[in-house]
Chains A and B, each alone.
Chain A
Amino acid sequence: MKKQVIIFQLNDEPVEIYVDPAESLLTVLRDRLGLYGTKAGCSKGECGACTVLLDDRAVNSCLVPVGKVQGCKVETIENLSRGGKVHPIQEEFVDKGAVQCGFCTPGMVLSAYALLKENPQPARDQIKMAISGNLCRCSGYKQIEEAILSAAKKLARQGNSIT
């Protein structure tokens, strides 16, 4: 309950906040930092809507006390289209019709992003593994799988693996 100064790298910029370290990263991102792209779906780490990258790995931000990100690197959905350009993963989500209600979409895109960072040429079962924790009630997942596959190909063609 004692507030602390937490300093971390958020979307490539340094951030310093004075906050109860017990507060979840999810609520800090949304309610204190105004990054509403990260969604709350279950608060139990079971739906994946709140997925962000913590030191390059996909995590459920609802389960991360913000104290844990001290000195770490956090990336949210807002970072992918920085500089006014939609990321190739996002382009493929649009192109393959992988978006419906859109509530799971930021988390899905970030799980895909984390996957492609780690494994630029994933097989289908690796894609499935990477997003098995992201629930989607609208799509039936197939278009999402296709979007990630084709984003991997597109990135490879463009020769710019995600760094």
Chain B
Amino acid sequence: MADLKTVGTSVPRKDAIEKVTGSAEFIEDRYMGPMLYAKMKKSTVAHGKIKNIDTTRALKHPGVKAVLTGKEYPNRIGLYLIDRTFLAVDKVRFWGEPVAVVAAVTEKAAAEAVDLIEVEYEELPGVFDPREGMKPDAPIIHEDLANYEIVPIFYPEKGTNIANHFKVRKGDIDKGFAEADKIIERDYYVPQMQHVPIETHKAAVQWSLDGKLTVWSTAQSPNVVRQLLAKSLDMPMHKIRVISSYIGGGFGCKAGASIEGLLVPIAQKFPGHIVRIVFNREEDMQGTFTRQALYSKLKTGVKKDGRITALQYEMVWDGGAYTEYGVNIVRAAGYSSTGAYDIPNVKTDSYCVYTNNSIGGPVRGFGMCEMQWGIERQLEEIARELGMDPLEVRLINGMKKGSTTASGQVIHDLDYDKCLKVVADKIGWGKKEESRDGKYRGKGIAGLVKCPAQPSNAASSAMIRINEDGTAHVMIGATEMGQGMLTAISQIASEALHIPVDKIDIKVPDTDFTPYEWQSVGSRITYTCGTSVKRAAEDALGQIYRVAADLLETPQEDLSFDGKKVFSAKNPDLTATIREVADSCKKCTGEGIAGPIIGRGSFVPTNMTNLDPETGQGNPGLFYCFGATGVEVEVDPETGVVKILQLACSIDAGKAVNPQLCTAQLHGGTIMGLSTALYEEVRFDKGIMLNRNFTDYKIATIDNTPHMDSFIVETPETNGPYGARGIGEQPMIGVAPAIANAVSDALGVDFNTFPLTPERVWQAIKNKK
């Protein structure tokens, strides 16, 4: 692949000019038509029966057009487990759950009317800790769990709060522990976090009298929104059009579908009007997905030489009030439960448990940050127990070509060793810096791996239209939320089509016009959508050659295409412009050959399988992306303040389609990881989210951002487009454990949880004394 022209170069972002000039259109950024504004009435209890909802006063409020409650609109929705309604019906399961929605001619009138709705609850005992929720006498949150429709790769336990119990049984766990010289066991805890994209969730819906539903949404996945709405509303798909404009950050919270359907019944009452809802920051934090908290117990057996013989992992996830999406995070963490390491004997039980906390759901990393926190911390303890170098322990056990994952999937394309070594080298691994001015310094390293957690039938498709002048339009269903997809995909198209990237137009999706894409999640788009686009480009190019060969009456093999014209390598007189090709007639007879060129490409994985229900064995990974993070810290033992002195990250991207964008993802993911490692934690009091704003949910600012070194390793992914694999989520995964390992190294104290706030670090030092 030495002769790549576009792939591997840092062409400017397709959307950059629009975005720096403020002209990029996000959903709220235009006049859409006659509007109605929707506002939600939210539950004031975390778990309770709805005794009565009185909407009389709200309905009489000036400007109010409609008030809707769950009783009138009990339709269900869910991605994997259909356990959710748009509005609470009969009971509420979390604090802030929408119980009614008001639509009015102004946002102000809607908000005022919301205050006039009176709801009477009978409070029920709540579950706020999933470990309590698993107990036989725990209050049941979803009485109907057994009757919910579910994708049959998940295993809810009837009559309990367990929405999914995923098992891995690999090798012989007893034998593995018997072989071990040392056994290390420890509990870990990862709290909830929030994505906080700077753009909150928004949706607008319009119903036309011919029965067409148009939806504008911040959704990461317009096709899934369409699919779930079609099912929930029992509508044919061609009558639903979903448009995702630019999205102001997603990180998983805008995956699946949720708020769009809330508005449909109102829109149906007022055809032609656009009913819009805009979540404010507080609603966004409290009412949308949070990262599920994880309570885990990890036990490893290890030989004196550092080789891990057995791993037993029990993970109890706080699924929150609804786990329609969360069940799959629990599954993904289960089948990946050895992290970046090849361990022969594994026993994992991963439980998704309902609680009365906010809804758990996908966040950048999809369970990997939480699950690998335990692994990467425990490796540190293993190294200490054995008196070994933690890097060495990672290199010994790290996956190599031919290694198997927890689910027994064989991995081929990786260079995890290199990922570890580059960051270790960068931070001067092995050289301990002396403490100065009463401050302690330490270094830490952590590895990471992630595959897209997508169902094996998650498909992609693409179309390419060639214009008469040799420019092209690429049409895809993936969304642009900052990751740079539009640019990378254009580069892949350009490479395959021979048309320069600046002659290719590409737009955000609209399900009426752009072909199917499952979801823009899981770091999968470069691979899946990229493959479809490459195939569509090859298809278009093939058509161009076929038609040109016919037109020029020369063998196809002799022809080349430079983006504008097709010419024969053997006879320079034989050329045809793309216009002649696209709209061609045989010179002599005037018979037509072909019309405009349209390339098509589709993709569905062929290397994935379902997993055995009892052992979790099989191939769940489309591809596996490895990386590592290295950190040097300085800790003030008096205040507990952790300062990051060095931060290095590496990722095995296979092939960086656009190195600048790839580095941007590496930086962004690493700083998001740093922010969660040091500051971020959603705080609840009996289900009430306490820090639901930026005043008390702090994310890293530029002041908190140290210098960073990033390394792109390129071990080609055999089946990826030009060897590429996705890298969007991965950089975040290793940061928290790497920082904790460094702080541990500095202070000689351990952490089983994060964020490492100054107070938590100080407390740990104090407890040690």
**A/B contact in complex, CB under 8 angstroms:** yes
Whether A103 and B13, one on each chain, are in contact in the complex, defined by CB atoms closer than 8 angstroms, is no
A131 touches B702 (CB 8 A): yes
Given A44-B694, A101-B248, A142-B705: A78 and B22 interface contact (C-beta under 8 Å): yes
| A35–B31 CA distance with the chains assembled, in angstroms | 11
Q: With A36-B29, A77-B22 as known contacts, state yes or no: A41 contacts B13, CB within 8 Å.
A: no
Chain A contact-residue range equals 35 or more
A7 within 8 A of B: no
Write out the residue numbers on chain B whose beta carbons fall within 8 Å of the beta carbon of A128: 702-703
B21 within 8 A of A: yes
A102 and B701 contacting across the interface, CB-CB below 8 Å: no
Do A135 and B281 contact each other (CB < 8 Å), given the known contacts A100-B482, A100-B483? no
Closest to A128 in B: B702
Q: Does B16 contact A (CB under 8 A)?
A: yes
Is the beta-carbon distance between B197 and A99 smaller than 8 angstroms?
no
Residue A66 at the chain B interface, CB threshold 8 Å: no
Instruction: Determine the residue in chain B with the shortest Cβ distance to A76.
Output: B22
Give 1 or 0 for each of A89-132: 1 = CB within 8 Å of chain B CB: 01001110101111111100100000000000000000110011
Q: Is A155 an interface residue (CB 8 A)?
A: no
Bound-state CA distance A43–B278 (Å) is 12
Question: Contacts A86-B20, A86-B21 given: A137-B672 contact, CB under 8 Å?
Answer: yes
A94 to B16, CA, bound (A): 6
Tell yes or no: B484 within 8 A of A by CB: yes
A101 and B249 within 8 A (CB): yes
B657 contacts chain A at the CB level, 8 A cutoff: no
* Closest chain B CB from A74 CB (angstroms): 14
Residue contact B668 to A100, C-beta cutoff 8 Å: yes
Q: Is B155 interfacial (CB-CB < 8 Å)?
A: no
Which residues of chain B (694-728) have a CB below 8 Å from chain A?
Answer: 694-695, 699-703, 705, 707-708
Of B658-666, B738-746, B759-767, the one contacting chain A is: B658-666
> In chain B between 84 and 119, which residues have their CB closer than 8 angstroms to a CB of chain A?
none
- Once A44-B695, A132-B702, A135-B699 are accepted as A-B contacts, the answer to whether A99 and B20 lie under 8 Å apart by CB is yes
A19 to B280, CA, bound (A): 23
Q: Is the CB of B22 within 8 A of A37?
A: yes
Q: Would A41 and B281 be within 8 Å (CB), given that A46-B694, A143-B667 are in contact?
A: yes
Complex CA distance for A30 and B699, rounded to whole angstroms: 27
Expressed in whole angstroms, the minimum distance between the Cβ of B501 and any Cβ of chain A is: 15
Is the CB–CB distance between B280 and A43 below 8 Å? yes
For residue B371, CB closer than 8 A to chain A, the reply is: no
CB distance from B634 to the nearest CB of A (A): 18
Whether A14 sits at the interface, judged by CB under 8 Å, is: no
Question: A86 and B17: CB pair below 8 A?
Answer: yes
- The residue on B at minimum CB distance from A130 is B702
Docked-complex contact B198 and A137, CB < 8 angstroms: yes
Which listed residue (A34, A39, A44, A77) contacts B248, Cβ 8 A? A39
Q: With A102-B18, A140-B668, A143-B664 given, is the CB distance from A42 to B702 under 8 Å?
A: no
Tell me if A4 is interfacial: C-beta within 8 Å of chain B. Answer: no
Within 8 A of A (CB), among B246-271: 246-251
Kindly state the separation between the CA atoms of A46 and B693 in the bound complex, as whole angstroms: 9
Contact of A38 among B22, B248, B481 (CB under 8 A): B22
Contact of A102 among B30, B278, B482, B670 (CB under 8 A): B482
Q: With both chains docked as a complex, state the minimum distance between the C-beta of A23 and any C-beta of chain B, in angstroms.
A: 10
Across the interface, which residues of A come within 8 angstroms of B30, CB to CB? 36
The answer to whether B21 touches A77 (Cβ under 8 A) is yes
Pick the contact of B660: A78, A97, A135, A144 (CB < 8 A). Answer: A97
B694 engages A97 (CB within 8 Å) = no
Find chain A residues with CB under 8 A from B304 CB.
Answer: none
A132 to chain B, nearest CB (A): 5
Q: Does A47 contact B (CB under 8 A)?
A: yes
Q: Is the CB of B12 within 8 A of A95?
A: yes
Whether A142 touches B482, Cβ cut-off 8 Å, given contacts A43-B280, A94-B16, is no
B15 an interface residue at 8 Å Cβ cutoff?
Answer: yes
Which bracket fits the contact residues of B?
35 or more
Q: Which residue of B lies closest to A106 (CB)?
A: B22
Residues of A contacting B195 in the complex (Cβ-Cβ under 8 angstroms): 137
Closest CB in chain A relative to B213 CB, distance in Å: 25
Cα distance A138–B482 in the bound complex, in angstroms: 7
Of A34, A104, A127, A141, the most chain B CB neighbours within 10 A belong to A141
Are B667's CB and A144's CB within 8 A? no
Bitwise, B263-292 to A at CB < 8 A (1) or not (0) is: 000000000000000101100000000000
**Closest CB in chain B relative to A15 CB, distance in Å:** 17
Complexed CA–CA distance, A100 and B707 (Å): 19
Instruction: Decide if A81 is an interface residue (CB 8 Å cutoff).
Output: yes
Q: Which residue of chain B has the shortest Cβ distance to A127 in the bound complex?
A: B702
Report if A139 contacts B (CB, 8 A): yes
In the bound complex, what is the Cα–Cα distance between A109 and B23 (angstroms)?
A: 13
User: At the interface, yes or no: A28 with Cβ under 8 Å from chain B?
Assistant: no
Q: Among residues 601 to 627 in chain B, which have CB atoms less than 8 Å away from a CB atom of chain A? A: none
In the bound assembly, the distance between CA atoms of A142 and B25 in angstroms comes to 25
A103-B26 CB under 8 A given contacts A86-B17, A97-B660, A139-B668: yes
With A42-B281, A101-B246, A142-B708 known to touch, is A135 a contact of B701 (CB < 8 Å)? Answer: yes
Residue A152 is within 8 A (CB to CB) of chain B in the complex: no
Question: Is B24 located at the chain interface by the 8 A CB criterion?
Answer: yes
B664 touches A139 (CB 8 A): yes
Contacts of A39 in B (CB 8 A): 26, 198-199, 248
Within 8 A of B (CB), among A13-41: 30, 34-41
- Is there contact, CB below 8 Å, between A140 and B705? yes
* Residues in B neighbouring A140, C-beta threshold 8 A: 664, 667-672, 705, 708
Are B701 and A132 in contact (CB-based, < 8 A)? yes
Residues of A near B17 (CB, < 8 A) are 86, 90, 94
In the assembly, what is the distance between CA of A131 and CA of B703, in Å? 9
Whether B5 is near chain A, meaning CB under 8 Å from some CB there, is: no
Whose C-beta in chain A lies nearest to the C-beta of B481? A101
Asked whether, in the complex, the Cβ of A99 is within 8 Å of the Cβ of B198, the reply is no
Residue of B nearest to A142 (CB): B667
A95, B12: Cα distance in complex, Å: 7
Residue pair A47, B249 in contact (C-beta under 8 Å): no
Q: Are A90 and B694 in contact (CB under 8 A)?
A: no
**Interface presence of B506 (CB below 8 A):** no
B199 CB contacts on chain A under 8 angstroms: 39, 41, 101, 103
State which of A101, A134, A139 has its C-beta within 8 Å of the C-beta of B197: A101
A53 at the interface (CB under 8 A from B): no
B19 interface hit (Cβ, 8 Å): yes
Interfacial chain A residues near B22, Cβ < 8 Å: 35-38, 76-78, 105-106
- Whose C-beta in chain B lies nearest to the C-beta of A45? B694
A78 to B18, CA, bound (A): 11
Q: Is B396 an interface residue (CB 8 A)?
A: no
Shortest Cβ gap from B458 to chain A (Å)? 23
The 25 sampled A-B contact pairs (Cβ below 8 Å) are: A36-B26, A36-B29, A39-B26, A41-B281, A46-B693, A76-B22, A78-B21, A80-B21, A86-B21, A94-B17, A100-B482, A101-B198, A102-B18, A102-B248, A103-B249, A104-B198, A106-B22, A136-B198, A139-B671, A140-B664, A140-B669, A140-B705, A142-B705, A143-B667, A145-B702
Given A101-B481, A134-B702, A140-B672, 9 new contacts (CB under 8 A): A34-B31, A77-B21, A90-B20, A94-B12, A97-B664, A99-B15, A100-B482, A102-B246, A138-B249
Interface residues of A (CB under 8 A from B): 30, 34-44, 46-47, 49, 76-78, 80-81, 86, 90, 93-95, 97, 99-106, 109, 127-128, 131-145
Q: Which B residues are within 8 Å of any A CB, using their own CB?
A: 10, 12-13, 15-26, 28-31, 195-200, 246-251, 278, 280-281, 481-484, 660-661, 663-664, 667-672, 693-695, 699-703, 705, 707-708
Q: Which 5 pairs of residues, A with B, have the shortest CB-CB distance?
A: A37-B22, A103-B248, A101-B482, A102-B19, A140-B671
